[in-house]
């Protein structure tokens, strides 16, 4: 056999065998397993969400004690939670980028250690500046490293039930608030705010084993390498797309009011005449409504009965109206009262806010396509961090000026209603008698980090039934 022919046959054989060996060594499945270890990842993401956003929501119970100890105003102490929330969201793109480079498991484990250290450091604070650095910067940075990688890993394990799985993980927020709110009040009563923060440092250390459960999953279509430049990694070119620009502006406005109840719902209940445990009950009712609505809305989004942008605008508006009702509740007679009207308003707010949360993650891939979903998530979370940074301090300022939180909740509800009005500019957000136009970008494919909106955006008639004929 001639040498040239032998070499050609050898190279042809290697070209067929090597890809097979690489596929066997990397163990890439044909697609997301839609279960299996994915349910373990869902449980880990549930705990991560509870120990981040759920703990942030309950942390408002400690703000009156901090204001009294340091003899500072409600506006000053509100910056503690506002900084933690703003840093958590603004630095979330860093967590996503690091998990892309080194994997979600080590990034989330390091984030758990940083969060715990932030609480332990804050327990020995001698001024509000120490709390700003400990809870705001250090713990906020730790939370930034855990939330996005955990949610992204979970979404990679599911395809057909992805929205439901993400909604299940997001219920960790409400469930954690339901458990941590009375527990934190009990710790404050028995150990003071220093002892409570120290014990919360031990609790948040459980984020580390949650990160250890995030087993990496390689899927077909994964990028071969990271973006070539920082600008490409940030995805600033997405702002040239009208749909994403509308969504980003609306979400930034919603963020200005959405996180205010995380900080000031419990102090508002105290101002309305409820006792400490009455305020805890108000927070718990809102948390239960929030958790249940996230599951229900996740299931609803999977059915595809209503276009997802329309659901987003609708539940965003209901969240603003619920916050408006919370602010208008009258003062109760005495501390022994259960505060029925405030409980009802808090429950309505929790239901609407919980329904809004999974829709933000569900609608985004359909607006920017599969290629820009990760960058778009980071940009939107950064925009929401501006609202999270400005909303609670503005609420505290209005409380100091007016003597209660009524004006605070009214102004913040106007932010949410304004953002929901802007959502009406999204494709399919408003009913139309003519065929709905398809987005400029292709629909997302399986294996993305966020829920697949194909099921939610298409009508129940199937992929070829695109008429939205309701007027």
Cβ proximity of 337 and 213 under 8 Å: no
Residues of the chain with CATH 1.20.1250.20: 33-217, 234-429
Cβ proximity of 299 and 161 under 8 Å: no
Mean pLDDT by 10 residues, the chain (471 residues): 56 50 48 78 91 83 85 81 82 78 87 94 90 92 87 76 78 78 87 92 93 82 63 71 89 86 81 77 83 83 81 92 87 60 88 86 69 63 73 83 86 92 87 53 39 38 40 41
Cβ proximity of 96 and 378 under 8 Å: yes
Cβ neighbours of residue 120 closer than 8 Å, sequence gap 6 or more? 197, 198, 201
Q: Token pair of 326, please?
A: 């919370």
One DSSP character per residue, 300-312 reads HHHHTSS-HHHHH
Residue 246, helix vs strand vs coil: helix
Query: Under CATH, domain 234-429 is a member of which superfamily?
Result: MFS general substrate transporter like domains (1.20.1250.20)
What does the pLDDT read at residue 450? 37
What does the pLDDT read at residue 336? 52
Cβ neighbours of residue 450 closer than 8 Å, sequence gap 6 or more? 151, 152, 155, 166, 361, 362, 364, 365, 373, 377
What does the pLDDT read at residue 31? 62
What does the pLDDT read at residue 448? 34
What does the pLDDT read at residue 463? 40
What does the pLDDT read at residue 115? 94
| Digit-coded pLDDT (tens) for 162-221 | 777 778 888 887 778 778 878 888 888 899 899 999 999 999 999 999 999 988 877 666
| Digit-coded pLDDT (tens) for 128-173 | 899 999 999 999 999 989 987 888 788 778 777 777 777 888 888 7
Q: What is the CATH number of domain 33-217?
A: 1.20.1250.20
One DSSP character per residue, 37-71 reads HHHHHHHHHHHHHIIIIIHHHHGGGGHHHHHHHHT
What does the pLDDT read at residue 2? 54
């Amino acid at each position: 056999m001639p040498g040239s022919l032998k070499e050609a046959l050898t190279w042809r054989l290697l070209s067929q065998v090597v890809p097979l060996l690489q596929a066997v060594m990397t163990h890439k499945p044909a697609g997301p397993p839609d279960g299996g270890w994915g349910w373990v990842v869902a449980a880990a993401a549930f705990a991560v969400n509870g120990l981040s956003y759920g703990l942030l929501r309950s942390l408002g119970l400690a703000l009156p004690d901090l204001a009294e100890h340091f003899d500072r105003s409600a506006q000053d102490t509100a910056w503690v939670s506002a900084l933690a929330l703003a840093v958590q969201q603004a630095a979330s793109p860093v967590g996503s980028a690091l998990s892309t480079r080194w994997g979600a498991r080590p990034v989330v484990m390091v984030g758990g250690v940083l969060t715990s250290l932030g609480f332990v450091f804050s327990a020995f604070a001698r001024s509000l500046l120490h709390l700003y650095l400990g809870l705001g910067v250090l713990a906020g940075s730790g939370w930034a490293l855990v939330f996005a990688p955990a949610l992204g890993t979970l979404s990679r394990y599911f395809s057909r039930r992805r929205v439901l799985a993400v909604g299940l993980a997001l219920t960790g927020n409400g469930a954690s608030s339901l458990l941590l709110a009375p527990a934190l009040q009990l710790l404050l009563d028995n150990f003071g705010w220093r002892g409570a923060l120290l014990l919360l440092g031990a609790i948040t250390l459980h984020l580390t084993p949650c990160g250890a459960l995030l087993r990496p999953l390689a899927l077909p279509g994964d990028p071969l390498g990271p973006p070539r430049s920082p600008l490409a990694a940030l995805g600033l070119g997405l702002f040239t797309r009208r749909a994403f620009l509308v969504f980003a502006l609306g979400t930034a406005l919603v963020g200005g009011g959405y996180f205010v109840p995380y900080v000031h719902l419990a102090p508002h209940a105290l101002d309305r005449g409820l006792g400490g445990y009455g305020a805890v009950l108000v927070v718990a009712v809102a948390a239960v409504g929030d958790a249940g609505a996230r599951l229900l809305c996740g299931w609803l989004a999977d059915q595809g009965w209503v276009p997802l942008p329309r659901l987003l605008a609708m539940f965003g508006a209901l969240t603003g109206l619920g916050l408006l009702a919370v602010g208008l509740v009258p003062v109760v007679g005495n501390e022994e009262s259960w505060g029925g009207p405030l409980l009802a308003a808090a429950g309505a707010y929790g239901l609407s806010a919980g329904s809004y949360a999974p829709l933000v993650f569900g609608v985004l891939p359909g607006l920017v396509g599969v290629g820009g979903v990760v960058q778009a998530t980071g940009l939107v979370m950064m925009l929401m961090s501006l609202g999270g940074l400005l909303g609670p301090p503005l609420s505290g300022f209005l409380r100091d000026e007016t003597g209660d939180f009524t004006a605070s909740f009214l102004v913040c509800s106007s932010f949410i209603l304004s953002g929901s009005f802007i959502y009406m500019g999204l494709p399919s957000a408003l009913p139309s008698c003519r065929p709905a136009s398809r987005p400029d970008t292709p629909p997302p494919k399986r294996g993305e980090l966020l829920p697949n909106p194909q099921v939610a955006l298409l009508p129940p008639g199937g992929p070829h039934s695109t008429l939205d004929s309701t007027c």
